[in-house]
Amino acid sequence: MQRVRLTRSEVEDLRRLFFDLEQTLREYWPGCIVMPFGSIVTGLGIKSSDADCYVHLPEHLKSPNECYVMTAKQVLKRRPHIFQNLFVISAAKVPIVKFFHTPTQCEVDINFTSPAGVQNSKLIAYLLHIDRRALHLAVLLKYWSKVHQLTGVNLVPNYALTMMIIFFLQQMSILPPVCKLQQGTKQDIVENWNTSFNESYQHHTSNDMSLYALLGGFFEYFSTYQYKEYVISPYTGYSIDRNQFKRLDFVPDEFDLYKENIEYQKCKPLQINNPMCVQDPFEHSRNSSVAVYPRLLTKLVYYLKHAADNYKNCSQNHFLKTLLDPRNVPDIPVMLTTRREQNRLDPKRPNRVTKEKYRNKGRRINLNACYGEASKLQKNFHRRRF
C-alpha cells in the first residue's frame, strides 16, 4: 500500500493544483468553484492517477450556447508555465479539457457539465471508509487490473471495477446497499437522480474475513458470475435478473424514481443488451460497463479465473507477489489477444525493427529508380534543346 498509493503529502500537494486552476478560471468566471472528484477524493489514488475536476459556474455566468471547454482552454493558455499540453475533447457526452499541471506533474481533466461525479465520489469514499478492509481491497484490485492492462481507456472502466468491489463487499455483509443509505433522507436531485445518502449511517457486520480471504473471494465470485443473466446493482445490494428491466412493470419496487424518469422521458432505459451490466448506484439508467465488449469481458474472466486458481494453489505469503507479477498471465486463446500482443508472442512473425528495415530498403530502391528516371529525362531534355 505504501509503494502504490499516493502519500498524504502528495495528496496535500494537489491542493496547489486546485488553487491554481480555480484562481486562473476566476479571472474569466468570477465566483466559479473547482470541485475535485474521482480517485483523488475516494482514497483510491495511486502514483499514476490523474486528477478529475468539475467546475461549478454561478447561474448568472452560464450561457446555454457557450462551449465552456474551448473558453477554458484559452484562459489556461495565459499561464503556459503552469498549464501545458492543453487539449479539448468537445464531441464527448461530457466535454472536457485535458492538461498537464507542471508544479505537481499531474494530468488533469476538467468538465463544466456533469456534477454527478462529485456526488458519486462522495458515496464511494464513504463506503470504502466504513471498513478498513474495503479501501485496501479496492486499491489492491485497482493496481492488479492496471498491471495486467485490464482497466483504462477502451478497457474496463475503473469506475465499473470499483462498483464491482462494493457489490462484492455487500454480498459479504461488510458494506450496506445504497438504498438503505437513502432511506429517510431528504432527496438531493442532481440531473434527475437522487444523490443524497445518510453519511452517519451505522453499519455493523459480523464478517471477520481477512484481506487475503476477501481478495481471493473476489476472484472466485466474479470468475463464475453469470454476467449475461444478471445486473450488478450496488443500489439494491443484490443481483437483478436482466429480464426485469425489459418492461417497466417488471422493474423492482426499489426503482420508483427510475420508473418515473422513464415515464416522463427524462432518461433512456438501462442498457441491458451489453455483455456486462454494472448499474450506477445513483443514476439507475446508466450501465457503467457499457463500453465492455464481448472479447474484453472474456479476457477479464480469464484473468479472474487465473487469479482464483493462484489463490487456491499459492501459499498466503506468495499469493500477492504472484498476483501482481505482470509476467504471470493466463493462457489466453489467440482470438482474444490484440494484434500487438500476437506480434509480440509470435516468434516467427517479423518484429517491428525487421519490418522497418525492409520498408526502408524498399524506399531506397524506389528513390534510386526515381533518381534514374529523372536523370534520363534531364539528358533527353538537353539533347533536344541543343
**Residue-by-residue pLDDT tens, the chain, 386 positions:** 888 888 888 888 889 999 999 999 999 999 999 999 999 899 999 888 889 999 999 998 888 778 899 999 999 999 999 999 999 999 888 999 999 999 999 999 999 998 999 999 999 999 999 999 999 999 999 999 999 999 988 999 999 999 999 999 999 999 999 999 999 999 999 999 999 999 999 999 999 999 999 999 999 999 999 999 999 999 999 999 999 999 999 999 999 999 999 999 999 999 999 999 999 999 999 999 999 999 999 999 999 999 999 999 999 999 999 999 999 999 887 666 555 555 544 545 554 444 444 445 444 445 556 656 666 666 555 555 44
Q: Give me the numbers of helices (H) and strands (E) for the chain, helices first please.
A: 13, 9
329 domain residue, yes or no:
no
Phi, psi of 152 (to 5 degrees): 135, -160
Q: Which three cell numbers stand for residue 57?
A: 459556474
Q: Which three cell numbers stand for residue 371?
A: 533518381
Domain count, the chain: 3
> What's the CA gap between 365 and 359, in Å, rounded?
10
Give yes or no: residues 236 and 305 share one domain: yes
pLDDT for the residue 7: 81
332 domain residue, yes or no:
no
> What's the CA gap between 103 and 9, in Å, rounded?
14
Residue 51's DSSP bridge partners are 108
Domain boundary among 114, 147, 165: 114
Q: Which domain holds residue 240?
A: 118-323
pLDDT for the residue 369: 60
Give yes or no: residues 170 and 227 share one domain: yes
**Residue 59 burial (10 A CB sphere; 0-12, 13-18, 19+):** exposed
pLDDT for the residue 372: 63
1 domain residue, yes or no:
no
pLDDT for the residue 66: 82
